[in-house]
Amino acid sequence: MKTKHNLFLLSVRRWTRLASVFCTGLISLVTLNLIAGDQVPWKAEWVGHVISEVPTADGGFDRVFLSVGKGTHIGKGSQLLKIHVTFEVTAEALVVHIAGTATVTAANGDLIFATFEGEEIVPHGAPPPYKFTVDWKITGGTGRFAGASGSGISTGLDTLEESVYGEEGTISSVGSNKK
């Protein structure tokens, strides 16, 4: 004979199982939305100029560089680069080592943060422009780029007056999952 107490326990067990199944399904959906498969192509074109340069104790210098351009997912935007530059002389060229941080401002004011490093090769006696290559990694952002990740490569030419460069890679934003 079933008592009220036994029916209550049976009901609690059913609700516990149902809640467990619901939570498992919810966790699966959230995980699918955050998978690296959310990576989408990133492309941007920039033109930039040095706005400040300060010598450093290691024989290099710190530069602040401002670029304007446009790209996928940002429209027209700007890029503020804080760059540490060091030099290495080889038999064939001066190798300029570049490392720093970037803040990209999208047309709507949302930000993307990144780190980068690479090099520019300056062959002895060769006039500009000089080719450079930089690997970058997105470390976060604000607005729709909050929690963004991604990586890619920048290649360009440095005339010593300005740099013209393009970026290609991927970006994934937690904010883009919000509909």
* CATH number where 127 lies: 2.40.160.20
Q: What is the CA radius of gyration of the chain?
A: 25
Q: Which residues pair with 65 in a beta bridge?
A: 50, 81
Are residue 5 and residue 73 in the same domain, yes or no?
no
| Per-residue pLDDT tens digits for 38-47 | 899 999 999 9
In percent, how much of the chain has pLDDT > 70?
75
What was the pLDDT predicted at 1?
56
Are residue 77 and residue 23 in the same domain, yes or no?
no
d(CA 165, CA 38): 26
Are residue 49 and residue 23 in the same domain, yes or no?
no
Are residue 11 and residue 46 in the same domain, yes or no?
no
User: pLDDT confidence of 35, banded at 50, 70, 90?
Assistant: very low
d(CA 44, CA 156): 12
The tally of domains found in the chain comes to: 2
Higher pLDDT, 175 or 76: 76
What was the pLDDT predicted at 15?
43
Of 9-13, 28-32, 109-113, least confident by mean pLDDT is: 28-32
Are residue 28 and residue 47 in the same domain, yes or no?
no
Are residue 165 and residue 114 in the same domain, yes or no?
yes
| Per-residue pLDDT tens digits for 83-109 | 999 999 999 999 999 999 999 999 999
Interval 152-179 mean pLDDT: 85
Report the mean per-residue pLDDT for the chain: 84
d(CA 91, CA 163): 25
18 membership: H or E segment, kind and range: helix 4-34
Are residue 6 and residue 83 in the same domain, yes or no?
no
Q: What share of the chain is helix, strand, coil (3-state, %, to 5)?
A: 25, 55, 20
The length of the chain in residues reads: 179
Higher pLDDT, 178 or 21: 178
User: pLDDT confidence of 24, banded at 50, 70, 90?
Assistant: very low
Domain range for 16 is 1-34
Are residue 70 and residue 150 in the same domain, yes or no?
yes
Are residue 94 and residue 15 in the same domain, yes or no?
no
Which residues lie closer than 8 Å to 172 by C-beta, 6 or more apart?
36, 38, 39, 40, 148, 149, 150
